[in-house]
Chains A and B, each alone.
Chain A
């Protein structure tokens, strides 16, 4: 893993130099959270569906937005690097491809953490939750889920030919996953074939884990979710290592 820390630090600096990317990564989840929250708070009566969504759905939505933005950004960056010949040039050095991907994952997880901290600060101010929230536990669940979902990004990034193709493809894959993930309506109300589909998507387990932890569940009561996400993570990472293209 020679060069990992240098590359990670370098990519953090480079990422922070692009104002729009920085805003998309950090600003959008926070703004969505604050905006929808404020809207719903004025409409929500006690025990209404709006209130329920405000309490758990919204934080999880913001969390998933962070995970997806991390994936889309990872896929795009790798595609740009491939198109620009940066990957091919790195191949002529002793650097290992896993190091490149790992560095980008670390960068994404770092910015996810920063966003989460901002969300918590914003959330504390506007919507103090009635139960004391285990923010460290939620943070751990979020980083774990992001890493799991990022592995799908690896696979897309490994095979996608150009950056222009990467973003729509990531969208086509991730937004349906999010719609079926149980975030907006319970998986149980879906027709059987869609329920089957939801069960083979890592996003569904990430939402279940994040919503549970947000409500105060312990991590150990979600071992099934954690196990499935880990399984997806290992599987997709292995596939992407198999199909990784330098050019």
Chain B
């Protein structure tokens, strides 16, 4: 069983992420919601109907990009967009769509000649060809270099900004954090928690971290004396100060100025979704 006890709700007009390691059940969950797979039990409503039974009436309202999908090797980009559009009653203008996804110059190129990023942009184009209300994107930046990934994030934000709802899966915590309005953390086929990335961090990783660089040997003792500080770890000239009081950063700054500590570095580190995942599951997502 890939998925057991998964419950979440997606709001209109948001980017919602199913986040978890490979094999957690993200794709299975997504395919059930898309109507490509029948759940053994439980209920799903997509735009108010059961996606597996709804048929064509629902299919014309959603757009789908599948993980690791291919197209015919020798289909051109233009042909693909026109053909997929022809399956719907009122497709968007193919030329405008290719412009929007930066594929205009590639419209006569065969699918097999495209780069990974271009292929993904084409699949996004195909998911948008029927001007859907809900767009599903499964691991859409996997295998892309950071630059192509950022370009795709911009496109996805653009989709949301045009009023569509985006549901995506990712195993990249950074992607979830930067792109998603809300995320569901999935592990071993279960949803562990659902919230905004910021909300999840505040709830599960409330600690604050301040890193101070100083040669002052008495600094460690002074920071430890600050109320709310739980630990100060020294690593060469760098002190990592931990605490969970909301005023930790202010308290450390005041301590520095009161004692005239000479600092060569000062920055704060906020816990990330990665830390939330570690906290919730006891293991790193990269394991």
- A residues sitting closer than 8 Å to B (CB atoms) are 2-3, 6-7, 10-11, 13-14, 17-18, 81, 83-86, 88-89, 91-95, 246
Contact = CB atoms under 8 A, between A and B. Distances in A.
B66 A85 contact: yes
A95 B83 CA distance: 11
A7 B73 CA distance: 15
Contacts of B84: 93
A10 B79 contact: yes
A17 B112 CA distance: 12
B71 A86 contact: yes
Nearest to A91: B36
A1 to B, nearest CB: 12
B75 interface: yes
B74 A14 contact: yes
A14 B36 contact: no
Contacts of A89: 64, 66, 69, 126
Given A85-B66, A86-B69, A95 B87 contact: yes
Contact of B83 (A7, A18, A83, A246): A7
Interface stretch (B54-62, B202-210, B216-224, B227-235): B54-62
A91 B38 CA distance: 13
B14 interface: no
B250 interface: no
A201 B62 CA distance: 45
B75 A10 contact: yes
Given A85-B66, A88-B66, A94-B59, A13 B86 contact: no
B83 A92 contact: no
Interface residues of B, number: 26
In the A-B complex, list the 8 residue pairs whose CB atoms are closest, starting with the nearest. A84-B70, A85-B69, A92-B64, A17-B74, A94-B56, A6-B86, A93-B87, A3-B87
Nearest to B37: A247
B109 to A, nearest CB: 13
Contacts of A14: 72-75
Contacts of B75: 10, 14
B121 to A, nearest CB: 15
A93 B59 contact: yes
Contact of A84 (B71, B74, B86): B71
A3 B59 CA distance: 15
B70 to A, nearest CB: 3
B160 to A, nearest CB: 20
Contacts of A93: 59, 84, 87-88
B70 A85 contact: yes
Given A7-B83, A84-B71, A86-B72, 17 more contacts: A3-B83, A6-B82, A10-B79, A10-B83, A13-B79, A14-B73, A85-B66, A85-B69, A86-B69, A89-B64, A89-B69, A89-B126, A92-B36, A93-B84, A93-B88, A94-B59, A94-B60
A3 B86 contact: yes
Given A92-B59, A94-B56, A94-B60, A85 B68 contact: yes
A7 B75 CA distance: 11
Contacts of B139: none
B34 interface: yes
B141 to A, nearest CB: 17
B83 A6 contact: yes
A19 B225 CA distance: 79
B62 A92 contact: yes
A191 B66 CA distance: 53
Contacts of A91: 36
Contacts of B56: 94
A2 B34 CA distance: 21
Contact of A86 (B60, B70, B74): B70
Given A85-B66, A85-B68, A88-B36, A94 B74 contact: no
Nearest to B126: A89
Nearest to B64: A92
Contacts of B79: 10, 13
B87 A94 contact: yes
17 contacts: A3-B87, A13-B79, A14-B73, A14-B74, A17-B74, A17-B110, A81-B72, A84-B69, A85-B70, A86-B69, A88-B36, A89-B66, A89-B126, A92-B62, A94-B59, A94-B87, A95-B87
Contacts of B82: 6
A6 B62 CA distance: 22
Interface in B81-112: 82-84, 86-88, 110
A10 B76 CA distance: 10
A85 B64 CA distance: 12
A33 B47 CA distance: 59
A18 B112 CA distance: 12
Contacts of A13: 79
Nearest to B82: A6
A101 to B, nearest CB: 16
